[in-house]
Structure formats: C-alpha cells, structure tokens
C-alpha cells in the first residue's frame, strides 16, 4: 500500500489521539497530535503573562515559539523552545484557554504551515479539528470521530482520576461542551465534518472495535 494521509477530526475527548496513535503504530506512519501544538502555544501564552484574549500580543508572540515532539510512552513528548511540557499541556488551565488562542488567524496560519510540512514527508495519521477540511484537504482517508458528550466526559474523567486530577464529572462535561461550542463556532477553520469524511460514532465501542472499523475503511479505500 502506498503511504497515504489519514485525517482524524472530531470534538474534544472523542478518542482521536488514542485511535490515531494505534493506527500510526500499526501502519508505521508518523502520528501528529495537532491539539498538542495548540496546547503548547497556550502554555507559552500563559507563561508569558499575556492575557489569552489579547489577540495582537498573542499573534506577536507566536512566531518566536519553537514546538517539537519526541517519541514517548504512554504519550508523545512535547517541547516548547526545547524544554519539555508534556504534562503541562494537559492542565485544567491550558484546557480552559486553548480554544480561544486557537481561534486566532496568526496562530492557525502558523500551525497549519507546520502541520503540512510534517505531512509532506509521507505516511501520516494526523488528528485535530480541521485536518480534513483545511490542513490536508486531499487526505486519502478522512474520519470524523464522534461520541455522546456524556461518554466523552466520562472517558476524560477516568483518565484524569488515574493522573490524580480532581475535576468532577460535571465540571469536565461542562468544559467539554464549552470547548466543542467554541471550536465549532469560530470563524477560521471551525470543527466541522469534511464533506468527504466518514463519521464514526464511538459511543459504546471499545478502542479495539473503533480501530477495527477504521482499518476496514482504510482497506476499502485502498
Ligand atoms: O485535541 P485536543 O483536545 O488536545 O485539542 C485542544 C484544542 O486545540 C481544541 O479544543 C481546539 O481548540 C484546538 N485545536 C484546533 N485545531 C486542531 C487541533 C486542536 O483548533 N487541529
């Protein structure tokens, strides 16, 4: 099989990164977590003391930032200006501010350029919100992963508990809904199913069942 581009989009906590990572591993493709990039920018903004709603200062800061990745278990390592921020990008504060910062044109332009550059090198599984619509519109396989808000919040709640984070299920559910709203109503590259994407509803399905469905889709297309 020729190396192809696989785009996996969908709302918060739909299981995109878990699934994308397994697929990339099995196919020996590069995995790109674009949400981690937007989270890294958010870490930089919060650390700099710039208010997240100050678009012009955020836009001026972004070109000076260097974001990089390295393999790691159970998650990829993320670096900001060569310093590791893998844990920090998942903090409640970063999660609460990332959607606002991701809505800015300067941020999106730069991230889109970087993501296309990485994808140019061949087989890639990229997950995010606008991969099938904007970043890789010619991706051979486009998946739109969804699940009910309650199930997505519950998955995140269990993950957080394992990490010792104390947010309640209701707080997580509200945060997930707010992020979905902001991500799907922003002006530039909103969260949206590409017209040629295949929707997969993961509510009630196990990770291996979802992987199986997506592999079938990949095989049918190739
Ligand atoms: O995927 P994850 O939940 O880590 O993404 C964090 C946030 O980054 C999203 O809520 C969204 O605001 C932003 N994002 C984006 N475009 C992408 C990936 C993530 O705007 N391609």
What's the gap in Å between 219 CA and the centre of ligand 1?
A: 28
Write the CB contacts of 70 (distance below 8 Å, at least 6 apart in sequence): 76, 77, 79
Give the pLDDT score at 20: 96
- Nearest atom (ligand 1) to Cα of 103: 20
Rg (the chain; Cα; Å): 17
**Ligand 1 pocket check: which of 102, 124, 132, 179 to mutate, most ligand atoms within 8 Å of Cβ?**
102
150-171 pLDDT, tens per residue?
A: 999 999 999 889 888 889 999 9
- Give one word for 185, left, alpha or beta, with left for phi > 0 and alpha for psi -120 to 50: alpha
Q: Average pLDDT over the chain, rounded to whole?
A: 95
Q: pLDDT band for position 122 (50/70/90)?
A: confident
Task: Write out residues with Cβ below 6 Å of ligand 1.
Answer: 12, 34-35, 38-39, 98-99, 102, 128-131, 179, 183
Sheet with 30-33, edge to edge strand ranges: 30-33, 124-128, 5-9, 141-146, 198-201
- Nearest atom (ligand 1) to Cα of 183: 12
Beta bridge partners of 70: 77
171-194 pLDDT, tens per residue?
A: 999 999 999 999 999 999 999 999
Give the pLDDT score at 76: 86
Averaged pLDDT for residues 68-92: 92
ipTM score here? 0.99
3-state helix, strand, coil in the chain (%, to 5): 55, 15, 30
Give the pLDDT score at 74: 79
Packing angle, helices 207-221 and 16-27, rounded to 10: 60
Round to whole Å and give the CA distance between 159 and 11.
17
Whether residue 67 is predicted with pLDDT greater than 90 in this model: the reply is yes
User: Could you state, in order of their start, the residue ranges of all structural domains in the chain?
Assistant: 5-221
3-state secondary structure of 142: strand
Give the pLDDT score at 103: 98
Averaged pLDDT for residues 87-106: 96
Give the pLDDT score at 149: 96
What's the gap in Å between 166 CA and the centre of ligand 1?
A: 22
Give the pLDDT score at 170: 97
Whether residue 68 is predicted with pLDDT greater than 70 in this model: the reply is yes
* Residue nearest to ligand 1 atom 16, measured at CA: 129
Q: pLDDT band for position 1 (50/70/90)?
A: low
**Ligand 1 pocket check: which of 41, 98, 115 to mutate, most ligand atoms within 8 Å of Cβ?**
98
Round to whole Å and give the CA distance between 189 and 166.
32
Q: Which CATH number fits domain 5-221: 1.20.58.340, 3.10.450.350, 3.40.50.300, 3.30.1600.10?
A: 3.40.50.300
Whether residue 222 is predicted with pLDDT greater than 80 in this model: the reply is no
């Amino acid at each position: 099989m020729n190396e192809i581009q696989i785009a996996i989009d969908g709302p918060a906590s739909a299981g995109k990164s878990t699934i994308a990572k397994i697929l990339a591993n099995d196919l020996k493709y590069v995995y790109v977590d674009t949400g981690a990039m937007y989270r890294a920018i958010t870490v930089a903004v919060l650390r700099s003391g710039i208010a997240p709603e100050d678009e012009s200062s955020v836009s001026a800061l972004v070109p000076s930032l260097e974001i990089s990745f390295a393999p790691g278990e159970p998650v990829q390592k993320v670096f900001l200006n060569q310093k590791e921020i893998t844990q920090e990008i998942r903090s409640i504060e970063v999660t609460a501010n990332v959607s606002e910062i991701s809505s800015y044109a300067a941020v999106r332009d730069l991230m889109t350029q970087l993501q296309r550059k990485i994808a140019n090198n061949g087989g890639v599984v990229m997950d995010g919100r606008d991969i099938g619509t904007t970043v890789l519109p010619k991706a051979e396989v486009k998946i739109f992963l969804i699940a009910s808000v309650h199930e997505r919040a519950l998955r995140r709640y269990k993950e957080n508990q394992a990490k010792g984070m104390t947010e309640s299920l209701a707080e997580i559910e509200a945060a997930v809904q707010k992020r979905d709203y902001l991500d799907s109503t922003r002006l530039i590259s909103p969260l949206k199913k590409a017209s040629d994407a295949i929707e997969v509803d993961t509510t009630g399905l196990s990770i291996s069942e979802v992987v199986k469905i997506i592999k079938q889709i990949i095989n049918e297309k190739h």
